[in-house]
Structure 1
């Protein structure tokens, strides 16, 4: 499993987080900052929100450190769960 991937069981939910690295075309070091997105499903396979089997959080802010980007996505996912999956 990649260090840019995290899976979290938050019963009854399952959170999958994936981070991306910014690509800086033409730079001496083309690798830039990190950002992450999350997908929330249910452990029992039931719909997460209304009739949707997944609730997706788009890419968040950019961070210099990978762990900061992963942590941001986890916080946003847990906030969405606690807030009852608000319409995006």
Structure 2
């Protein structure tokens, strides 16, 4: 869903840049703004799901005293953080 929204926004951005009349440019700009809002909303939802799903699983494992599952989820979270740190450091260099 997010990827589709991003592609739609890019298409609208190209249309804004290629518009010749002021009226058409304003109309396409409104469409671009709506698409931009949709992209931001879907990114927030994806981020929320990415964080909440493992947290919910960890809470369930803790309540049911499944320590093996809890430690596995903890290790997965550490791996995600390490990957994110490696990617961000590669971008900055």
TM-score (ref. length: structure 2): 0.26
Bigger Cα Rg:
2
TM-score (ref. length: structure 1): 0.27
